[in-house]
Structure 1
Amino acid sequence: MQNPLLENFNTKHRSAPFNEIKEEHFLPAFQELIKISEKEIDDIVENNEEPSFENVIEALAYSGEKLDVVSSIFFNLNSAETNDEIQKIAQEVSPLLTEFSAKISQNEKLFSKIKKVYEEQQKYQLNEEQQMLLSETYKGFVRSGALLNETDKEKFKEISIELSKKSLLFGQNVLAETNNYFKHITDEKDLAGIPEAILQQYREDAKERNLEGFVVTLQYPSYIPFMTYAENRELRKELALANGKKSFSNNEFDNQNLIKEIITLKQEKAQLLGYKNYAEYVLEERMAKSPDQVTSFLNELLEKARPYAEKEIEELKTLAKADGIEEMQSYDHTFYAEKLRKQKFDIDDEELKPYFQLEKVQEAVFGLAKKLFGLDFVESTEIQKYHEEVKTYEIFEDGVFKALLYVDYFPRKGKRAGAWMTSFKNQFRKNGENSRPHISVVCNFSKPTSDTPSLLTFQEVTTLFHEFGHALHGVLADTTYPNLSGTSVKWDFVELPSQFLENFCYEPEFLRTFAKHYKTGEVLPDEKIQKISDSKNFMEGYQTLRQLGFGLLDMAYHSNADKVGDIKTFETEETKATNLYPSNPETAMSTSFSHIFQGGYSAGYYSYKWAEVLDADAFQYFKENGIFNPEIAAKYKVLLSSGGTKDPMELYKNFRGSEPKVESLLKRAFGS
């Protein structure tokens, strides 16, 4: 069988040939590419020349290039356009890749060569990036079990394989639960308070299911507007219960035991390597060096934020009492928060949405990248796509091709919830060529209807800017080695570029350039723009506590795996300091907490708040000197393009001139 995944991609920019790829191509491609990659490793090991930086460390960094590309294609499809067959293949492929990775990291001959180069590095006169590659390679092997005895190496490999399977299964269960639920409503009176544009979306969702009336789902663009505007409290409760019970229903998609299995395996993995727990293992390689430092950081913010959060909730309770609600519940929060926001700032999302047409917001973020970094975006119809809704852009700098960008904006049955940036190919330099990256931004925004384009809530506007901030980290990458390129940085540094870019959404000077009515072209009135800017910190105390709750729970799972009994009880206990509403015994957040049980945020969820300190401090630098200041933008571009070639604090200090100050975040959030 001819397999396009095994051939050189004869496409523009050597992009993924999606039109030619079939599901049956993946497993044989992985099997063959693993063999090819193993041969590359054997060549390094069997080389009779004296081990050197070039023939060991560099050779290893460039090995497995095609395998990496095919892995990226496959696992990105598994997130954005999956089906039963792809999920089945994923369960077969993940153990193969994990076993292959373990074979490399536990190859004694290979490690002895790496160790020799590492110990004799003074004789190689390495530059800073080469020193970083050597250090990261050596540490990576040690942290993957290279120093273990044979028995423990085998155990480490088995644990890693099991973890890869169980993490995949966790995400598949959450996706199934999200897709399996929908609420069919036939009486429009039950949808009182919901704007017409959202009702039209619900009608079209019903039509897709050959039903009369309206359908509400647990997909973000359907669920959130319902919780924000529906006056029917009982239906809000029903939807919130369905959302909170995802993978917490003692059915085939239940994740409770899976969580215990995952954290136990992680604990065993860390202890095999001599660490007390998985959090300690993870944080050794982060800007925050220890669980104690993270917990101290989170608790410091908690102490500062809780009084503000409690005051905010009291305001909401006053509104709810006027409607006869004596005890507010979590499913009332979004509804009354929107009411209060409208009262305080005279704005609501439905009023703002006509001014934020998706295409215009995208133009704005492209324009910002042009203004700050000199990038031009040109839509291309020559790049093959994995779904008809995907759009592709070639990015140029001074007329020279810089990167390929895929954007995928709307929810589908085969796409997991949320928003993310990923890549199909990293940037690197080899044999005199600067091989440019292929970057993808995936979101779940409201689809256009038959008579209305996709209109974004303001939160969706900030989401697009957030993911595009990550994308710029990949687009601007300019390093030698693929494993130090783009977002290949310390995990608690990776959110800086994304959260930094969100700040521009609140700047009146910038908003005026793109907040225009999709029908009339009228610019959003100045007073509304000012109110968006003024409302930036609305419910900041509550949102901070919510994030801190996630961060503390994450640290608890990965620091105290042996103390986790009943999932609901553990979750309630570990988040009680951040909870502002009564806990519902029928719901649990942990069972759909994909960031830490499927994604890469295990013992790392705190990094969102950690990076907020960085982004607040960085944007303050721009604010003091002009938000489009070219000199500061040029320095920031260096930070982005450097990837993981330097210690992140060094990169930050080179940009800012000093370490970040937590006061910058506190001042932005609470004015103190």
Structure 2
Amino acid sequence: MSSSNPLLDFQDLPLFDQVRPEHVAPALDQLLAQAEAALETVTAPSFPAEWLAIARTLDVATERLGRAWGTVSHLNAVADTPELRAAYNAALPRVTEFWTRLGSDERLYAKYKAMDPAALTAEQQQALKNAVRNFVLGGAELTGDAKARYAEIQERQAELSQKFSENALDATDAFAYYASEGELAGVPQDVVEAARAAAQAEGKEGYKLTLKMPSYLPVMQFGHDRALRERLYRAYVTRASDQGDPRFDNTALIRDILALREEEAKLLGFRNFGEVSVVPKMADSPQQVIDFLRDLAGRARPYAERDLEEMREFAARRLDLREPQSWDWPYIGERLKEEKYAFSEQEVKAYFTAPKVMAGLFKIVETLFEVTLRKDSAPVWNPGVEFYRIERNGQLVGQFYLDPAARKGKRGGAWMDDVRARWLRPDTGTLQTPVAHLVCNFAEGVDGKPALLTHDDVITLFHETGHGLHHMLTQVNERDVSGISGVEWDAVELPSQFMENFCWEWDVLRHMTAHVDTGEPLPRALYDKMMQARNFQSGLQTLRQIEFALFDMLLHTEHDPAQDFMPLLAKVRDEVSVLRPPAFSRTAHTFSHIFAGGYAAGYYSYKWAEVLSADAYAAFEETAGEDGLPSVETGRKYRQAILEAGGSRPAIESFKAFRGREPTLDALLRHQGMA
């Protein structure tokens, strides 16, 4: 391997600090050629149809390609520059074309079908089953023009999704408003300080506000200036749409993506893309998903209506707001919460300093899953990135990068991604340990103080850590079903949502809080208020998630891509929402989950997996000790049944191995105060 190109160094961890845009094309030239040669070797008539023989040649080559491309894709998401973006976009069609061709190669498909499952381990059998299914979904049974068209569709979809993502990022980064001090009345002091520092860094007067969450959300929740809230709200909900800068308008991209997905589905013999989407998932059909969402909406609606009525009454009585608008609701909600529970999110935030939160998170992970977490070193892409290792009995189990802070050129939101999977390598016979990325977008510390996290930020951190643990604590040695690989998409949120529950446990919270000025832990009285407020507006929040999920599934089952999609969104809102956004709102235009993130006809997975995660967590509630601390035995059983098993068996089997029964909706409704 070339030593001069960091993307071709596979000795250990990616050399993130050395990768430059000019490395991308030459590295991919080499890796694609090697993968191509490997494919030709294993598909030769004389090559044996044996799992390990194919893995030794083809999987080793494609894993290297995947790791190098993963490094480039990751940098494109967290350290976007015009040069890197250009290199990424130039390479994207070639990489997409290869993976599409690999997944639809009828010669390779024939080799897998010719294998004798009885000669394989249980892990390999599951991986083989998935592979055969994926070949069918990948167009391996198509021929001639249909096969060529399928490949074109994949390439075009990859380009459109990337452009969608770029438009969403660019539209967000393009907005800035320099507020005066008077306009920021009510906005938390740390947010004001950060806004002033941002303006000063540009040599500008005033306070720089952006549409990044750490800037945008506190203004919407706490800013008394209604005109300022409206200004930011309008900019936020019209990003990347026909209502904003035409350079970033995603309207045509959405239509094209939907049309291509429908065409793909029909080529594969399905009626719509929703049917394609559920094949590898737990759900049996799009209709089952739609029924599930509508059932949940019906249960949540009375609670949501009560939430809304309470806000309307409060707004009129205390804030003199007779006709609240969309930019008023977060503010009203926050003020109501302060009155009702006598605390504010700001008061809570002062106790969640980032270092203390991390220490508390590590403590619960170490206790529950019988591991040790330690600081480690690796090349990183930004000075703010940290690297850690997980050990059990002194043995390395996995490692992860933590990139917590929001910054320009970094995609919004939070996510976990894999750097490499656990794999008993067929080429060397050595065990490769898993490595993960945990990425968030939190505010940075100001004036030398540590970063402060909202309680929602803490929940996000625990959520992504749950995904990471699923990837890193696996004991499966077959790459395609180790960790998160091969796990049904609508079950993959179980471990992440499961971890969120610990953010509400007193014995966990008191160990992960320290007031930014006094160092005092979270007072019990404040915690009790937080618990009372835990399900504040859970009806409204549930309906909001269902609105997104139902829109997504209907968009991919009942909608004609040639038609405007906005009327469908309006129809879904008529059916399930109690809070209607204004006509100019364009939330679909930045719905990256479904247009650029793999959740197409799968956004329902969050709600579906919440049923599983709430039920799984109920096992911990049932076995907690008298001191309120979670049972280590239950933690061990959960780790072994769910985390360690990864994708080596269907998710429902792992769930039943842990719970001893099928999941029920009861725990979710109880946790959300809707029982």
**TM-score when normalising by structure 2:** 0.95
Alignment of 1:87-166 (within 5 A): 87-117=85-115, 120-122=116-118, 124=119, 126-166=120-160
Deviations 1:565-608 (A, max 9, x none): 22333322223223323432222100000000000110110010
**What letter matches 2:385 in structure 1?**
V
Q: Look up the match of 1:439.
A: 436
Q: Distance in 2 between matches of 1:442 and 1:106?
A: 33
Q: Distance in 1 between matches of 2:483 and 2:506?
A: 30
* Residue 657 (1) aligns with residue 655 (2): no
**What letter matches 1:485 in structure 2?**
S
**Paired residue for 1:202, among 195, 219, 223?**
195
* Residue 454 (1) aligns with residue 481 (2): no
Check conservation: 1:287, 1:493, Cα contact below 8 A.
Answer: yes
Question: For 1:442, what is the secondary structure of its paired residue?
Answer: strand
Q: Distance in 2 between matches of 1:102 and 1:625?
A: 48
Q: Distance in 1 between matches of 2:58 and 2:529?
A: 54
Check conservation: 1:557, 1:564, Cα contact below 8 A.
Answer: no
Q: Look up the match of 2:18.
A: 20
Deviations 1:231-278 (A, max 9, x none): 111111111000001011260110011000001101101110000000
* Residue 5 (1) aligns with residue 6 (2): yes
**What letter matches 1:419 in structure 2?**
A
Check conservation: 1:227, 1:334, Cα contact below 8 A.
Answer: yes
**What letter matches 1:252 in structure 2?**
R
Offset of 1:522 from its aligned partner? 1.2
Q: Look up the match of 1:351.
A: 347
Offset of 1:486 from its aligned partner? 1.4
Alignment of 1:120-269 (within 5 A): 120-122=116-118, 124=119, 126-186=120-180, 188-248=181-241, 249=244, 251-269=246-264
Q: Look up the match of 2:367.
A: 371
Alignment of 1:584-663 (within 5 A): 584-626=582-624, 627-638=629-640, 639-663=642-666
- Go from structure 1 to structure 2 and tell me whether the alpha carbon gap of 1:49 and 1:383 turns closer, same or farther (over 3 Å shift): closer
Deviations 1:110-164 (A, max 9, x none): 22222222xx434x2x332111011111111111111112111100000000000
Alignment of 1:15-94 (within 5 A): 15-46=13-44, 48-56=46-54, 60-94=58-92
- Go from structure 1 to structure 2 and tell me whether the alpha carbon gap of 1:621 and 1:58 turns closer, same or farther (over 3 Å shift): farther
Q: Look up the match of 1:326.
A: 322
Alignment of 1:476-555 (within 5 A): 476-488=473-485, 489-555=487-553
Deviations 1:271-297 (A, max 9, x none): 100000001001011111211000000
Q: Distance in 2 between matches of 1:234 and 1:105?
A: 53
Check conservation: 1:61, 1:481, Cα contact below 8 A.
Answer: no
* Residue 415 (1) aligns with residue 415 (2): no
Q: Unpaired runs of 5+ in structure 2?
A: none
**Paired residue for 1:465, among 446, 462, 467?**
462
Q: Distance in 2 between matches of 1:19 and 1:516?
A: 34
* Residue 361 (1) aligns with residue 362 (2): no
Segment of structure 1 superposing worse, 523-532 or 566-575: 566-575
Q: Distance in 2 between matches of 1:329 and 1:290?
A: 38
Segment of structure 1 superposing worse, 576-585 or 299-308: 576-585
Check conservation: 1:395, 1:404, Cα contact below 8 A.
Answer: yes
**What letter matches 1:212 in structure 2?**
E
Offset of 1:198 from its aligned partner? 1.6
**Paired residue for 1:272, among 262, 267, 275?**
267
**What letter matches 1:461 in structure 2?**
V
Q: Distance in 2 between matches of 1:99 and 1:361?
A: 43
Q: Look up the match of 2:333.
A: 337
* Residue 293 (1) aligns with residue 288 (2): yes
Offset of 1:671 from its aligned partner? 4.4
Q: Distance in 1 between matches of 2:160 and 2:637?
A: 42
Q: Distance in 2 between matches of 1:607 and 1:575?
A: 20
Question: For 2:178, what is the secondary structure of its paired residue?
Answer: strand
Check conservation: 2:7, 2:23, Cα contact below 8 A.
Answer: no
Q: Look up the match of 1:566.
A: 564
Q: Distance in 1 between matches of 2:47 and 2:188?
A: 72
Offset of 1:59 from its aligned partner? 5.3
Check conservation: 1:421, 1:470, Cα contact below 8 A.
Answer: yes
Offset of 1:57 from its aligned partner? 6.3
Offset of 1:6 from its aligned partner? 5.2
Check conservation: 2:3, 2:9, Cα contact below 8 A.
Answer: no
Q: Distance in 1 between matches of 2:268 and 2:55?
A: 23
Question: For 1:172, what is the secondary structure of its paired residue?
Answer: helix
Offset of 1:60 from its aligned partner? 4.5
Question: For 1:330, what is the secondary structure of its paired residue?
Answer: coil
Question: For 2:364, what is the secondary structure of its paired residue?
Answer: helix
Q: Distance in 1 between matches of 2:527 and 2:7?
A: 52
Check conservation: 2:510, 2:522, Cα contact below 8 A.
Answer: yes
Check conservation: 1:446, 1:454, Cα contact below 8 A.
Answer: yes
Q: Look up the match of 2:401.
A: 406
Offset of 1:53 from its aligned partner? 3.2
Offset of 1:547 from its aligned partner? 0.2
Offset of 1:541 from its aligned partner? 0.3
TM-align CA RMSD: 1.6
Question: For 2:16, what is the secondary structure of its paired residue?
Answer: coil
Q: Distance in 1 between matches of 2:553 and 2:673?
A: 25
Q: Distance in 1 between matches of 2:622 and 2:56?
A: 42
Q: Distance in 2 between matches of 1:602 and 1:121?
A: 32
Offset of 1:452 from its aligned partner? 2.3
Give aligned pairs, total.
663
Segment of structure 1 superposing worse, 142-151 or 52-61: 52-61
Identity of aligned residues (%): 34
Check conservation: 1:446, 1:456, Cα contact below 8 A.
Answer: yes
Q: Distance in 2 between matches of 1:195 and 1:6?
A: 43
Q: Unpaired runs of 5+ in structure 1?
A: none
**What letter matches 1:163 in structure 2?**
Q
Q: Distance in 1 between matches of 2:61 and 2:529?
A: 53
Offset of 1:61 from its aligned partner? 4.3
**TM-score when normalising by structure 1:** 0.96
